[in-house]
Amino acid sequence: QVQLVESGGGLVQAGGSLRLSCAASGRTFSTYATGWFRQAAGKERDFVAGISWRSGSTIYADSVKGRFSISRDNAKNTVYLQMNSTKPEDTAVYYCAAVIDYSGYYVYTREYSYTHWGQGTQVTVSS
């Protein structure tokens, strides 16, 4: 089993930056594809970004493309989400997710594909 713990959320002014971290514990994290999702109040949880573990391939939601960047450090069992040029519409609870992937090349974008989830961290962007 893999346990995921997000950190780095908080309050930021529009246009500012924030870096979220997702620390994994338990079984080796290096063979898990990972992703970030977010859920705004009263809305469904949406895909934000995903990354494969072997090739480092990434996919982003159109709403964050060019502003957010996902990366991972397998040695530290940590995945990051760098959020730049933030907007009030980025306000949400952000969740880290992981799923084992033996190929190492696949990026998962569907919520139902992921088997492990963190508890979430709140990000609030003020205008």
Percent of residues, the chain, with pLDDT higher than 70: 99
Tens digits of residue pLDDT in 90-118: 999 999 999 999 999 999 999 999 999 99
Cβ of 58: how many Cβ atoms within 10 Å?
Answer: 16
Nearest to 55 by CA among 75, 77, 72, 79: 72
Query: Dihedral sign, CA of 45, 51, 80, 67?
Result: negative
Tens digits of residue pLDDT in 22-54: 999 876 778 899 999 999 999 999 999 999 998
Query: Dihedral sign, CA of 52, 50, 37, 67?
Result: positive
Provide the β-strand partners of residue 29: none
Q: What is the pLDDT of residue 99?
A: 95
* Percentages of the chain per state (helix, strand, coil), in multiples of 5: 5, 50, 40
Nearest to 24 by CA among 8, 3, 7: 3
Q: What is the pLDDT of residue 29?
A: 77
Tens digits of residue pLDDT in 57-70: 999 999 999 999 99
Number of residues that make up the chain: 127
Measured CA to CA, the distance from residue 113 to residue 98 in angstroms comes to 9
